[in-house]
Amino acid sequence: MKIAIIYIGLFILVTLNLTGQTKDEKNNRINTAVSENSMFNLQRNAVYNENILAFAYERLLPVTEKSSFALKGGFLIWDPFIPMVEGAFVTGGNKNFFEMGVGALIADTNDDEEQGFDFVTFRIGYRYQAPKGFLLKTSVFHSPDNFILPWISLGYTF
């Protein structure tokens, strides 16, 4: 469980705005001529529910006008809670995006002293992100245990 706390703490530190600048100051500094469909103009924070069993916070980190990285942290409601993390690549424009990522559930499923990533997952899917906050994600979730699940997420971006 110590490892899980460390990973979640690192995730929170990376996603926090440590510079104290406002969003407008950052956008002006990046480029005032960035197109309206740019990743730099998207709302970068999201909270959402996945398949009723999971809750997550996600932060988009724009790389170019059409692509960004997404860092996600959250928990799965299972025995009683299992922390999860994920890193993803997001590309597209306007409101429609393609995303793929690798994640892990951090649980002590073994009875030994070793803790860590006990369940590595892979995801590929579609993301609809409306300008006013609505978020819909549909994806296929695959694990090394060879099962594939459809995954639907509904949430809010800010």
pLDDT given for residue 94 in this prediction: 85
pLDDT given for residue 32 in this prediction: 47
From residue 110, alpha-carbon distances to 16, 97, 141 in Å are 33, 37, 23
pLDDT given for residue 86 in this prediction: 95
Q: Mapping DSSP to helix (H, G, I), strand (E, B) and coil, where does residue 115 land?
A: coil
pLDDT given for residue 122 in this prediction: 93
Q: Which one, of 100, 88, 99, 95, lies nearest residue 41 by Cα? A: 95
Per the DSSP assignment, residues forming a β-bridge with 85 are: 73, 104
**Are 119 and 143 contacting, i.e. CB atoms less than 8 angstroms apart?**
yes
pLDDT given for residue 72 in this prediction: 96
Among positive and negative, which fits the CA dihedral 54, 5, 140, 99? positive
Q: Mapping DSSP to helix (H, G, I), strand (E, B) and coil, where does residue 27 land?
A: helix
pLDDT given for residue 17 in this prediction: 43
Q: How high is the mean pLDDT in each 10-residue block of the chain (158 residues)? A: 52 48 52 66 93 93 94 89 93 93 79 63 94 94 81 95
Q: pTM of the entire structure?
A: 0.71
